[in-house]
Structure formats: structure tokens, C-alpha cells
């Protein structure tokens, strides 16, 4: 493990960078700004390592607004309708900064905070911690969040989240990494399977209107190229996917996954890049995965002089459904004092 200075914020806070490597040569770079995954190097079928994530070469762009490259979204990831919810009879108003809705924790969510970090040398892991103050971004309760990134010798990047609160609150955490397993211009030739037979249909502001059968363009139960049906993605103006799929067995998911987190894991998705041979499986204890195809990337200057255009990368964000706090049929996102939020997601890499 390597630990080094990365940058200072405008307020003078120190940001650190950690590099994890495993016995197969995989490596992951992590920074304390947003507990962000900035690089992930994996081999192709010829054994050549390459970074399969979108982002920046220099520190400065990471500290400015960007499309959530590699960050942790919270306190409540995804959208909350009109930024409003009622909990135990109390009405709360959050920031509205995505059209009429609240998105990814607000104006200064977890992605724009400096987390503390502790290397776990015997586990090839780093534990990140952030304490979100009562009332921060409008959310009730002081929330203490930990996230452990572990790089295993089985070529897995494992993310373990825990959280506790001093007051009833809402929580929905996810990692927002954009992947491109080929290193090419876009991800349209990648093939994808999602372990879901239904998805959350959305209104014009991307708020779910309920679950619908995943048919036609929305059907990823059988592996297919992402570009095949992307123009026909339902509810998304101009084509492109940005929807939440209900993973098989989603009704059985709870806020606590029990003592054995591995027993609660399900396969969420399988992604493959034919050009490079890289294969990524996503496993999670969460009930849903948000599949987003970088529809709003518009020439963002990125790594190695690349301009990230539309569909230049994709996200597979394991999480609870958008707007769950206002949708009784969805698994709850409420966390109460005395409870412990727990969640695990694994990105497993191989080649074909």
C-alpha cells in the first residue's frame, strides 16, 4: 500500500491518496475527497494493464464540479422528488439542484467532503470515515459513515458501508464510478446482463412512477450489446439508459443484511468488453442497480487527453430505489438510532 499527499482544498484541508495493489497486479487509487475511486487498473486478455475508469490526470479537476466520477453519493443517493419528505410526522426540505428534485445528497453532498482515512495493512484495505452533522444539507441526525475499500487477491474490489445515526434519518449510499472496460471512445459495444425482470419507470424529471416489466429495450435478462436498444430506452429523452433495475429478490432486502454479508450477496450485473476481453461482475446486498450510460457527458476533458463524450462510460450504481422515502412500496431507506446500516458491493474482474 502506498499513502501520499494528493492536494489541498481551497479551505486548506489535506487530501490524501492511497494505492492498493494485489498479487495479480491489479491496482486501485483512492482519495479522501469524496472517498473517491480515481483509478482502477486491470489486465486485458493479453495481460496488459489499463485504467478502466473515467476521471482526471491532475488533482485540480477532482476538486471542482464534475459528473460524480468515482465518488460516493450520499447522504441519500439518486433523486428525491422536489427535495421533500416526511419522517415521523416532521416535514423536511432538502436542496433542489436537479431540475425540481434533490440529487445525490445536495449541493455539497458526501462527494464534496474530505473523509478521514485509516489504512488496514493486513487486509489490503482502507477505511474511510465521515461524520455528517445533524442538519447538514437539510438531513436530520448526526450520521457516522464508514466505507472500507478492499482489493482482494481474487481480483475483487469490495466496498463495505456502515452507518449509525443520532436521529431518524434517510440514507442511500452508492459509488458512482464510470467504467469503460475497453478504453475506447464509448461503451456501446460492451455487452451487459442485469439480473432483473423489472425496472423503475420514470416521469419527465426521472422520478419513479412504479415498477414495470423489463421488456423490449429495457430487457437485459439476456446478455446483449448496450448500443443495440439504447435509442429506444423508455422515458429517457433522446435515448440512453438512466434507470433503476429491481434485482431478483428485491422484496427480501432489508436495511441490515445480517451477520453474513456474503450470504446476502446477489449477482446484479455482468459487463463485458469484446475488444479487450475484460469481464466485470457486480455483486451486492442492495435491492437495485442504477444503470446509467453517460448520457450527459459532453466533451469533458479527461485522462490521457481524452474528451469524454456521450456514452463514454457507464455506471452500475448499487443502491436502494430513487425517491424511496416517498414510495411506500419500495424497501425503506429510513435509519433509526440503535440500528446499523450495512451494505456490501463487489466488483469482480476477469478476462475472456
Chain segment 121-138, per-residue pLDDT in tens: 999 999 999 999 999 999
* pLDDT number for residue 256: 64
Contact 217, 89 (CB under 8 A): no
Contact 291, 216 (CB under 8 A): no
* pLDDT number for residue 239: 73
* pLDDT number for residue 237: 60
Per annotation, catalytic residue among 104, 176, 243, 311: 176
CA distance 170 to 74: 10
Residue 27 above 90 pLDDT? Answer: yes
What distances in angstroms separate CA 113 from CA 27, 116, 253, one per listed residue?
A: 24, 10, 29
Give the pairing of strands 334-335 and 288-292: unpaired
Contact 67, 178 (CB under 8 A): yes
Residue 257 above 70 pLDDT? Answer: no
Widest Cα–Cα separation across the chain: 59
- DSSP codes of every residue in 303-324: GGG-EE-TTS-BEEEEESPTTG
Give the residue-averaged pLDDT of 169-187: 95
**Per-residue confidence band for 238, with pLDDT thresholds at 50, 70 and 90:** low
Question: Among positive and negative, which fits the CA dihedral 226, 293, 61, 52?
Answer: negative
Nearest to 242 by CA among 76, 66, 104, 343: 104
* pLDDT number for residue 207: 96
Q: φ, ψ for residue 303 (rounded to 5)?
A: -70, 145
Alpha-carbon dihedral of residues 66, 69, 75, 79, nearest 10 degrees? 70
Q: Is residue 317 annotated as part of the catalytic site, yes or no?
A: yes
Average pLDDT of the chain to the nearest whole number: 96
pLDDT digits (tens, 9 = 90+) for 50-93: 999 999 999 999 999 999 999 999 999 999 999 999 999 999 99
DSSP 163: E
CATH number of 2-351: 2.70.98.10
Contact 168, 351 (CB under 8 A): no
CA distance 192 to 197: 14
pLDDT digits (tens, 9 = 90+) for 289-347: 999 999 999 999 999 999 999 999 999 999 999 999 999 999 999 999 999 999 999 99
Count CA within 13 A, CB hemisphere, residue 61: 15
**Per-residue confidence band for 224, with pLDDT thresholds at 50, 70 and 90:** very high
Contact 108, 65 (CB under 8 A): no
3-state class (DSSP) for residue 227? helix
Give the residue-averaged pLDDT of 253-277: 87
Q: Is residue 176 annotated as part of the catalytic site, yes or no?
A: yes
Per annotation, catalytic residue among 136, 236, 270, 317: 317
Residue 254 above 80 pLDDT? Answer: no
* pLDDT number for residue 217: 95
Amino acid at each position: 500500500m502506498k499513502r501520499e499527499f494528493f492536494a489541498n482544498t481551497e479551505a486548506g484541508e489535506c487530501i490524501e491518496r492511497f494505492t492498493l495493489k494485489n498479487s495479480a497486479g491489479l491496482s486501485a487509487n483512492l482519495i479522501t475527497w469524496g472517498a473517491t475511486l480515481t483509478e482502477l487498473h486491470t489486465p486485458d486478455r493479453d495481460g496488459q494493464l489499463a485504467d478502466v475508469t473515467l476521471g482526471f490526470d491532475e488533482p485540480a479537476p477532482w476538486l471542482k464540479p464534475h459528473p460524480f466520477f468515482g465518488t460516493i453519493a450520499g447522504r441519500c443517493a439518486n433523486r428525491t422528488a422536489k427535495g421533500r419528505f416526511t419522517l415521523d410526522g416532521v416535514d423536511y426540505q432538502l436542496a433542489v439542484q436537479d431540475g425540481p428534485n434533490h440529487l445525490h445528497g445536495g449541493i455539497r453532498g458526501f462527494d464534496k467532503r474530505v473523509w478521514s482515512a485509516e489504512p488496514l495493512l493486513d487486509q489490503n484495505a482502507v477505511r474511510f470515515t465521515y461524520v455528517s452533522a445533524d442538519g447538514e444539507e437539510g438531513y436530520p441526525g448526526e450520521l457516522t459513515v464508514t466505507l472500507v475499500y478492499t482489493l482482494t487477491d481474487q481480483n475483487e474490489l469490495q466496498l463495505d458501508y456502515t452507518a449509525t445515526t443520532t436521529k431518524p434519518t434517510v440514507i442511500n449510499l452508492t459509488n458512482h464510478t464510470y467504467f469503460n472496460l475497453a478504453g475506447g471512445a464509448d461503451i456501446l459495444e460492451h455487452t451487459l446482463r442485469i439480473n432483473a425482470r423489472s425496472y423503475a419507470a420514470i416521469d419527465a424529471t426521472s422520478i419513479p412512477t412504479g415498477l414495470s416489466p423489463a421488456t423490449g429495450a429495457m430487457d437485459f435478462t439476456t446478455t446483449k450489446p448496450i448500443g443495440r436498444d439504447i435509442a429506444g430506452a423508455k422515458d429517457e429523452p433522446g435515448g440512453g439508459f438512466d434507470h433503476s433495475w429491481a434485482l431478483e429478490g428485491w422484496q427480501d432486502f432489508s436495511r441490515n443484511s445480517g451477520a453474513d454479508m456474503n450470504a446476502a450477496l446477489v449477482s446484479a450485473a455482468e459487463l463485458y468488453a469484446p475488444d479487450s476481453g475484460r469481464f466485470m461482475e457486480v455483486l451486492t446486498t442492495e435491492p437495485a442497480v442504477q444503470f446509467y450510460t453517460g448520457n450527459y457527458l459532453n466533451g469533458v476533458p479527461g485522462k490521457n487527453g481524452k474528451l469524454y463524450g456521450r456514452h463514454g462510460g457507464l455506471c452500475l450504481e448499487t443502491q436502494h430505489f430513487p425517491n424511496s422515502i416517498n414510495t411506500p412500496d419500495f424497501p425503506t431507506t429510513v435509519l433509526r438510532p440503535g440500528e446499523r446500516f450495512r451494505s456490501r458491493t463487489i466488483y469482480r474482474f476477469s478476462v475472456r
